[in-house]
């Protein structure tokens, strides 16, 4: 078991996807995302293997939850700065986790 203090070390914030582009160099189909986490955190980049269920158009403007305090991770030629959260729906299909109503970008999950 972990403690509540352990859980608080994971900084999960809401952000809005503002830019999406293809990631042809990825081993598995993925999008490159730019997410706006508000004035305190700003814009962050990530890649996400969510092409099965989400088009570029469906992602722009969508709010998602992401871990923002992991160290950056090199994904092929791309540096991923946050980890977008999702749930496996079926093989190769991830459903994104986000609020069901708009909230201010950067708000921390608690």
**Local confidence band at 69 (pLDDT 50, 70, 90 cut-offs):** very high
Asked if 76 contacts 54 with a C-beta cutoff of 8 angstroms, the reply is: no
Asked if 106 contacts 39 with a C-beta cutoff of 8 angstroms, the reply is: yes
The DSSP string of 40-72 is HH-EEEEEE--TTT--HHHHTT-EEEEE--SPP
What dotted CATH number matches 11-96? 2.40.50.140
Give me the torsion for CA of 59, 64, 69, 70, rounded to 10°.
-60
Predicted confidence (pLDDT) per residue in 8-24, tens digit: 999 999 999 999 999 99
The predicted model scores a pTM of: 0.94
The pLDDT, as a whole number, for residue 92 is 79
Asked if 30 contacts 86 with a C-beta cutoff of 8 angstroms, the reply is: no
């Amino acid at each position: 078991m972990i403690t509540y203090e352990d859980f608080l070390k994971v900084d999960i914030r809401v952000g809005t996807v503002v830019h999406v582009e293809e990631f042809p160099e990825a081993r598995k189909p993925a999008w490159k995302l730019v997410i706006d986490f508000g004035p305190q955190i700003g814009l962050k980049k990530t890649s996400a293997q969510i092409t099965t269920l989400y088009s570029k158009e469906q992602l722009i403007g969508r709010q998602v939850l992401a871990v923002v305090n992991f160290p950056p991770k090199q994904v092929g030629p791309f540096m991923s700065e946050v980890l977008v959260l999702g749930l496996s729906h079926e093989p190769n299909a991830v459903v994104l986790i986000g609020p069901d109503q708009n909230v201010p970008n950067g708000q921390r999950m608690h």
